[in-house]
Amino acid sequence: MSKQLGFLHNSEKCVGCRGCEIACKNEYQIEATPQWRKVFQLHEDDFSLPTRMFFSMACNHCAHPECLRVCPVKAYTKREDGIVIHDPNRCIGCRLCTMACPYDRPQINPAKKKVEKCNLCYQRIDQGEKPACVTACIPGALELVEINDSLDQKTGILKTLPGLPSPKITSPSIRFIGPKQGKQIRRD
Amino acid sequence: MTFFEDCPPQVLKTHGELLLALSHLFAQGGENLSQTLSPLVKSCSAIAEHYNTSRLLQANQILAQYSETNDGEYLVMCYEFNRLFVGPNAPVAPPYESVYLSSDHLVMGEQTLAVRKFYQRENLQTIGQRHEPDDFISTELEFVAYLLSRIIETQAAKNSAKIQLYKTLYQEFWQQHLGLWLKTFAHTVSQSAKHPLFSALSEILVALSTLNAPLNTKEAPYETYAPQISRRSSSRCCL
Amino acid sequence: MKLTRRKFLGGAAAVAASSMTLFNFNLLTNSPSASAADQPSEAIKTFRNVCPRNCYDTCGMITYVEDGVLKKVEGDPKHGYTNGKLCLKGYSYPRRVYSPDRIKYPMKQSPRGSGNWTRISWDEAMDTIAKKILDLKKRYGSTLPICLDKYSGNFGIVHYGIEGTMSSIGYTTRAVGTPCWPAGIDAQTYDFGTLYSNDPEDMVNAKYIILWGQNAAWTAIHSLPFINEARERGAKLVVIDPILTSTASKADLYIQINPSTDGALALGMARYIIDNNWVDWEYARANSLGFDEWVEYVKKSITLDWASEKTGVPKDIIMEIAREYATAKPASMWVGYGMQRHTNGGQNVRIIDALGVMTGNVGKSGGGVNYGHLETWGFNYNAMVNAPPKGSKGFIGPDGKEGDRAINMNNFAHDVSAQSDPPVKMLWLACRNPGAQDPDTNAIEKMFSSMEFVVTVDSFFNKTVEMSDIVLPATTHFEDWDVMASYWHYWVGINQRAIDPLYECKSDVEIAIELSEKMNALEPGSCTFPTSGTPEEWLAKEFNPGIHQMLGINDYKELIDGPRKAKMPPASWSDGNFRTPSKKIEIHSELAEKNGLPALPIWVDEMKTPEKYPIRFMTPHPQYALHSQFQNLDWMMTTNPEPKVEIHPNLAAKYGITEGTMVKIYNDLGSITVKAHLTRTTSTNVIVAYEAWYKNSNFNVNYTLKAIPSDMGKQATGNDGLAFHDNFVMIEKA
Query: Which domains are delineated in chain B?
Result: 9-232 (1.10.3480.10)
Q: Of C565, C598, C630, which closes a domain?
A: C565
Closest-CA distance, A116 to chain C, in angstroms, reads 17
All partners of chain C with 3 or more CB pairs under 8 angstroms: A, B
Judge if C250 and C294 occupy the same domain: yes
| Under-50 pLDDT residues of chain B | 1, 215-239
User: Which of C83, C85, C246 minimises the CB distance to A15?
Assistant: C246
Cβ–Cβ < 8 Å for C715, C591: yes
For residues C460 and C528, what is the distance between their CA atoms, to the nearest angstrom?
30
Q: Is the pLDDT of residue C347 over 70?
A: yes
Judge if C371 and C407 occupy the same domain: no
Judge if C409 and C371 occupy the same domain: no
User: Which of B29, B88, B145 minimises the CB distance to C103?
Assistant: B88
Instruction: Say which residues have a Cβ less than 8 Å from residue C232's Cβ, sequence separation at least 6.
Output: none
Look up the ipTM and state it: 0.94
Q: Does A112 touch chain B (CB under 8 A)?
A: yes
CB pairs under 8 A between B and C: 169
For residues C483 and C494, what is the distance between their CA atoms, to the nearest angstrom?
4
Mean per-residue pLDDT of chain C: 95
Determine, yes or no, domain membership for C276. Answer: yes
Q: Of C324, C355, C375, which closes a domain?
A: C375
Residue C483's domain is classified under what CATH number? 3.40.50.740
Judge if C145 and C189 occupy the same domain: no
B 192-231 → C contacts, CB under 8 A:
none
What are the pLDDT digits (tens) for C527-551? 999 999 999 999 999 999 999 999 9
Per-residue pLDDT of chain A (188 residues), as tens digits, is 689 999 999 999 999 999 999 999 989 877 788 899 999 999 888 888 999 999 999 999 999 999 999 999 999 999 999 999 999 999 999 999 999 999 999 999 887 899 999 999 999 999 999 999 999 999 999 999 999 999 999 999 999 998 899 999 999 999 999 888 999 999 88
Instruction: Say which residues have a Cβ less than 8 Å from residue C295's Cβ, sequence separation at least 6.
Output: C274, C279, C358
Q: Which residues of A touch C (CB under 8 A)?
A: 12-13, 15-19, 21-23, 25-27, 29, 32-33, 35, 44, 50-54, 135-140, 181-188
- What SS3 state is found at C150? strand
Amino acid at C14: A
For residues C326 and C401, what is the distance between their CA atoms, to the nearest angstrom?
48
pLDDT band at C10 (very low <50, low <70, confident <90, very high): very low
Residues of B in contact with A31 (CB under 8 A): 103-105
What are the pLDDT digits (tens) for C692-728? 999 989 999 999 999 999 999 999 999 999 999 999 9
Residues of B in contact with C13 (CB under 8 A): none
Q: Does C249 touch chain A (CB under 8 A)?
A: yes
Cβ–Cβ < 8 Å for C51, C88: no
Residues of C in contact with B83 (CB under 8 A): 115, 117
Cβ–Cβ < 8 Å for C708, C589: no
Q: Of C526, C547, C565, which closes a domain?
A: C565
Query: Which domains are delineated in chain A?
Result: 5-177 (3.30.70.20)
Cβ–Cβ < 8 Å for C182, C719: yes
C 642-661 → A contacts, CB under 8 A:
648, 650
User: Which of C86, C222, C251 minimises the CB distance to A182?
Assistant: C251
Dihedral of CA atoms C612, C614, C615, C618 in degrees, nearest 10, equals 90
Residues of B in contact with C105 (CB under 8 A): 86-87
Nearest CA in chain C to B90: C101
- What SS3 state is found at C49? strand
Of B151, B155, B187, residue with least CA distance to B170: B151
Determine, yes or no, domain membership for C7. Answer: no
For residues C52 and C153, what is the distance between their CA atoms, to the nearest angstrom?
8
All partners of chain A with 3 or more CB pairs under 8 angstroms: B, C
Cβ–Cβ < 8 Å for B57, C662: no
Per-residue pLDDT, C120 = 98
Cβ–Cβ < 8 Å for A118, A59: yes
C 491-530 → B contacts, CB under 8 A:
499-504
**Concatenated DSSP letters for C394-422?**
-EE-TTS-EE-EEEEGGGHHHHHHH--SS
For residues B124 and B169, what is the distance between their CA atoms, to the nearest angstrom?
14
Instruction: Say which residues have a Cβ less than 8 Å from residue C501's Cβ, sequence separation at least 6.
Output: B131, C475, C479, C480, C507
C483 Ramachandran zone, left/alpha/beta (phi>0; psi -120 to 50): beta
Residues of A in contact with B103 (CB under 8 A): 29-31, 109, 111-112
Per-residue pLDDT, B218 = 38
pLDDT band at C40 (very low <50, low <70, confident <90, very high): low
Determine, yes or no, domain membership for C143. Answer: yes
- Bigger pLDDT: C323 vs B3: C323
Q: Using alpha carbons, list the distances in angstroms from residue C734 to C641, C658, C661, C676, C686.
A: 20, 12, 8, 10, 19
Q: Is the dihedral of CA A66, A71, A76, A77 positive or negative?
A: positive
For residues C207 and C237, what is the distance between their CA atoms, to the nearest angstrom?
9
Closest-CA distance, C400 to chain B, in angstroms, reads 44
Q: Is the pLDDT of residue C3 over 80?
A: no
Residue C628's domain is classified under what CATH number? 2.40.40.20
- C450-488 b/e with 16+ CB inside 10 Å = b? ebbbbbbbbbbbbbbbbbbbbbbbbbbbbbbbbbbbbbb
Closest-CA distance, B55 to chain C, in angstroms, reads 30
Q: Which of A10, A11, A15 to mutate to test the interface with C (most CBs of C within 10 A)?
A: A15
For residues C171 and C649, what is the distance between their CA atoms, to the nearest angstrom?
54
CA atoms within 13 A on the CB side of C26: 19
Cβ–Cβ < 8 Å for C148, C172: yes
Nearest CA in chain A to C314: A185
- What SS3 state is found at B169? helix
Closest-CA distance, C30 to chain B, in angstroms, reads 5
User: Which of C245, C255, C681 minimises the CB distance to A185?
Assistant: C255
Judge if C195 and C248 occupy the same domain: yes
Structural domain tally of chain C?
A: 3
Nearest CA in chain C to A38: C639
Residue C246's domain is classified under what CATH number? 3.40.228.10
Q: Which of B98, B100, B103 to mutate to test the interface with A (most CBs of A within 10 A)?
A: B103
Per-residue pLDDT, C8 = 32
Per-residue pLDDT, B103 = 81
Q: Do B130 and C104 touch (CB under 8 A)?
A: no
Judge if C306 and C425 occupy the same domain: no
Judge if C511 and C555 occupy the same domain: yes
Determine, yes or no, domain membership for C339. Answer: yes
How many other CB atoms are found less than 10 A from the CB of residue C655? 17
| Bond prior to A167 in cis (omega within 30° of 0) | no
For residues B236 and B232, what is the distance between their CA atoms, to the nearest angstrom?
8
Per-residue pLDDT, A4 = 96
Judge if C239 and C136 occupy the same domain: no
Q: Using alpha carbons, list the distances in angstroms from residue C628 to B37, C298, C622, C665.
A: 39, 42, 10, 20
CB pairs under 8 A between A and B: 16
For residues A171 and A63, what is the distance between their CA atoms, to the nearest angstrom?
5
Per-residue pLDDT, C11 = 36
Residues of A in contact with C91 (CB under 8 A): 19, 22-23, 25-26, 136
Question: Where do the DSSP E strands lie in C560-659?
Answer: 564-565, 585-586, 615-618, 644-647
Residue C278: burial class (beta carbons within 10 Å; 0-12, 13-18, 19+): middle
Judge if C647 and C513 occupy the same domain: no
For residues A34 and A25, what is the distance between their CA atoms, to the nearest angstrom?
9
Amino acid at C206: A
Instruction: Say which residues have a Cβ less than 8 Å from residue C343's Cβ, sequence separation at least 6.
Output: C260, C606, C607, C708, C709, C710, C711, C723, C726
Mean pLDDT of C146-169: 96
Of B8-17, B187-196, C119-128, C437-446, minimum mean pLDDT range: B8-17
Q: Do A16 and C253 touch (CB under 8 A)?
A: no
For residues B63 and A126, what is the distance between their CA atoms, to the nearest angstrom?
59
Q: Is the dihedral of CA C149, C151, C157, C159 positive or negative?
A: negative
Residue C148 has φ and ψ, to the nearest 5°, of -100, 135
Of C474, C479, C444, residue with least CA distance to C460: C474
For residues C558 and B43, what is the distance between their CA atoms, to the nearest angstrom?
59
For residues B39 and C442, what is the distance between their CA atoms, to the nearest angstrom?
47
Judge if C125 and C204 occupy the same domain: no
Could you list the residue range(s) of the whole structural domain that residue C506 is in?
Answer: 107-154+168-174+403-565
Instruction: Say which residues have a Cβ less than 8 Å from residue C284's Cβ, sequence separation at least 6.
Output: C291, C357, C358, C360, C587
Per-residue pLDDT, B5 = 66
Determine, yes or no, domain membership for C273. Answer: yes
CA atoms within 13 A on the CB side of C323: 7
Share of chain C above pLDDT 90, in %: 93
Residues of A in contact with B111 (CB under 8 A): none
Per-residue pLDDT, B178 = 95
CB pairs under 8 A between A and C: 128
What are the pLDDT digits (tens) for C366-415? 999 999 999 999 999 999 989 999 999 999 988 899 999 999 999 999 99
Q: Using alpha carbons, list the distances in angstroms from residue C418 to C120, C143, C620.
A: 33, 17, 29
Judge if C213 and C291 occupy the same domain: yes
Determine, yes or no, domain membership for C12. Answer: no
What are the pLDDT digits (tens) for C193-215? 999 999 999 999 999 999 999 99
Q: Does A110 touch chain B (CB under 8 A)?
A: yes
Q: Do C500 and B131 touch (CB under 8 A)?
A: yes
Judge if C233 and C365 occupy the same domain: yes
Q: Does B150 touch chain C (CB under 8 A)?
A: yes
Determine, yes or no, domain membership for C240. Answer: yes
Q: Is the pLDDT of residue C25 over 80?
A: yes
Determine, yes or no, domain membership for C464. Answer: yes
- What SS3 state is found at C28? strand
Q: Do A188 and C253 touch (CB under 8 A)?
A: no
Q: Do C69 and B112 touch (CB under 8 A)?
A: yes
